[in-house]
Chain A
């Protein structure tokens, strides 16, 4: 079975298949973003306490979810890459890191922009905010560690260890608002209850899914590029590149 998976995940096969999938991720991303913007600006109501500022949540929360989601994907891909030595898994982990870092930064900044008028401060060193900032540093550490090696195999190994160890931060971020007294509010959405009006929830979900599709498209695009670089000495890459030139 491993042989079969390895054949399917072969760089060449991936390059050809993924090219066809990207438009199918981009189309839902654009559609969901547009509907999501309409829902968050027009359909969803103002909050009884936060007033209109609640609308910041529709970018903040999906971005924060992405920061966790992408890290988990990155760590799992790193684990698969380490154990089964699948090149493509390492590539997915590597190209995910900058996207994850961007979403983490977006979550931190939009949170700050919401915090100023609502809490009365741009920043507080509470458990949630601090652990999310550590997540940003983990992404940046991963990126710089990967760049520090010339040999992609060594780089993959070293940075996957970092990605896997850093995984402990994820439950800390998620449960920080329950384990400690924090300034940040608790989760409104869990498997058991949704403490949110339905149109607010829909707006949140639309943008959240839009971001998921965006991430999928970006990972495929970036992974295709990485595949070309890493396989540049093989004939099929040469054929593609020379063909592009004609």
Chain B
């Protein structure tokens, strides 16, 4: 092998080694790299329900109720759902049907939230287009 080919092999080994190390690392981390748990995985006991954790899903349409700063709503992944109780200001993207992520813990089957974050999806369009799409669906 020439010196240049030696260096090529070296660079290839570097890349392969780095990929291997990171793959193993990510495998080891597993579920810990997920930012939140879905209602179904919570029901299956995958979430650490003994302490505070994050629950993510869609806000059920028609479930949102509010008294002053205290709001209650249901979050679903279309299989299971939880009722959330939260006191505080909701983010601008929060609305029924929207994906949200909430931090808190389960108390007697109800999720008492300390934080509610709204998730945005990858669709960007002006309001007129959104309305037109909605009408087309109905």
Contact = CB atoms under 8 A, between A and B. Distances in A.
The finding on whether chains A and B are genuine partners in a shared complex, rather than unrelated, reads yes
A26 interface: no
Contact of B122 (A46, A124, A181, A188): A188
A245 interface: no
Interface in B65-119: 89-95, 98, 101, 115-119
A60 to B, nearest CB: 12
Contacts of B4: 83-84
Given A48-B125, A120-B89, A120-B116, 14 more contacts: A46-B127, A47-B126, A50-B120, A53-B92, A79-B11, A83-B8, A118-B93, A120-B92, A164-B15, A168-B15, A181-B56, A186-B122, A196-B124, A197-B126
Contacts of B101: 183
Interface residues of B, number: 44
Interface in A66-88: 79, 82-84
A49 B129 CA distance: 12
Nearest to B4: A83
Contact of A183 (B7, B33, B119, B124): B119
B115 to A, nearest CB: 7
B51 to A, nearest CB: 16
A48 B127 contact: yes
A119 B93 contact: yes
A51 to B, nearest CB: 7
A61 to B, nearest CB: 10
State the main secondary structure of chain B at its contact with A: mixed
A46 B101 CA distance: 24
Interface of A: 45-51, 53-54, 57, 79, 82-84, 117-121, 124-127, 161, 164-169, 172, 179-183, 185-188, 195-197, 200
Nearest to A161: B14
Contacts of A165: 14-15, 17-18
A181 B34 contact: yes
B125 A121 contact: no
A130 B104 CA distance: 22
Contacts of B119: 119, 183, 185
A183 to B, nearest CB: 6
B42 to A, nearest CB: 13
B121 A117 contact: no
A132 to B, nearest CB: 14
Interface string B23-35: 0001000000111
B18 A82 contact: no
Contacts of A49: 93, 95, 98, 120, 130
B1 interface: no
B121 A185 contact: yes
Contacts of B14: 161, 164-165
A168 B18 contact: yes
Given A46-B126, A188-B122, A167 B18 contact: yes
A172 B21 CA distance: 13
